[in-house]
């Protein structure tokens, strides 16, 4: 039987950890193109990142949600069909300026209120100030309705015209028919004018992995709005 994670050439292969930042101003230079991954701490964000990049140990996974307490930057090789950009140096390391940014999981972690407020402020600052940001991949558990944070993220994308791709994770927990119904309901709930796409996804079963890889690559190719 073929491996469900193997399909077309993986445009996200070769991702490498660059740094973990407590504040936006600690991230790599605001140049090039990057896609942010956002979602609640128990939605399977780290597992999704690992599946998409084909690197099982890239993002830390844990049975205790909320371990990602910083913004984590991963560099990517340049996309094959896009001219190479100048690379940058971070702490003496030569890295590409194509990036994935793993935002702190929100809404579940058992951390002090002050830390939650810090995350909220930094995520808000990141989304409003980061000019290299091309789009958001929002991770949500397909078995549950979108939570307040998820809706806030979609509202921001709608207001700013920022493209968003929604991964409805843990689809292996539902039947194929149930997953299809959940996806259809989600798409119907999107307001007119929201530049969002959605798909079912399972890092465990490999469902939708190749589709999601292509969606992330498409976001990276998006030109920056003036």
Residue boundaries of the structural domains of the chain: 16-221
More confident site: 49 or 8: 49
Q: Indicate the class that CATH gives domain 16-221.
A: alpha beta
Helices (H), 88-134: 113-129
The model's pTM is 0.87
pLDDT of residue 92: 44
Asked if 66 contacts 218 with a C-beta cutoff of 8 angstroms, the reply is no
* pLDDT tens profile 140-182: 999 999 988 899 999 999 999 999 999 999 999 999 999 999 9
> Element (H or E) spanning 159, and its range?
helix 148-160
Q: Return the structure tokens found at 200.
A: 């079912």
Alpha-carbon gap, residue 81 to 63, rounded angstroms: 38
* pLDDT tens profile 105-116: 876 556 677 877
């Amino acid at each position: 039987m073929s491996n469900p994670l193997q399909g077309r050439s993986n445009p996200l292969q070769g991702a490498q950890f660059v740094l973990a930042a407590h504040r936006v101003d600690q991230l790599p230079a605001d140049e090039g193109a990057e896609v942010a991954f956002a979602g609640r701490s128990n939605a399977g964000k780290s597992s999704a990142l690992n599946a998409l990049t084909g690197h099982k140990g890239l993002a830390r996974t844990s049975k205790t949600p909320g371990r990602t307490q910083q913004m984590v930057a991963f560099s990517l090789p340049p996309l094959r069909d896009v001219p190479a950009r100048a690379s940058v140096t971070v702490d003496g390391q030569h890295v590409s300026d194509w990036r994935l940014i793993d935002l702190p999981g929100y809404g579940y972690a058992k951390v002090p209120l002050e830390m939650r407020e810090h995350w909220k402020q930094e995520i808000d600052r990141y989304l409003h100030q980061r000019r290299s940001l091309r789009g958001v991949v929002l991770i949500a558990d397909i078995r549950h309705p979108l939570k307040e944070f998820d809706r806030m993220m979609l509202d921001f994308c709608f207001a700013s015209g920022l493209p968003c791709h929604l991964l409805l994770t843990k689809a292996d927990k539902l039947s194929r028919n149930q997953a299809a119904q959940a996806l259809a309901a989600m798409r119907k709930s999107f307001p007119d004018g929201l530049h969002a796409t959605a798909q079912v996804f399972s890092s465990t079963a490999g469902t939708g992995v190749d589709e999601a890889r292509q969606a992330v690559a498409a976001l990276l190719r998006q030109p920056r709005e003036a």
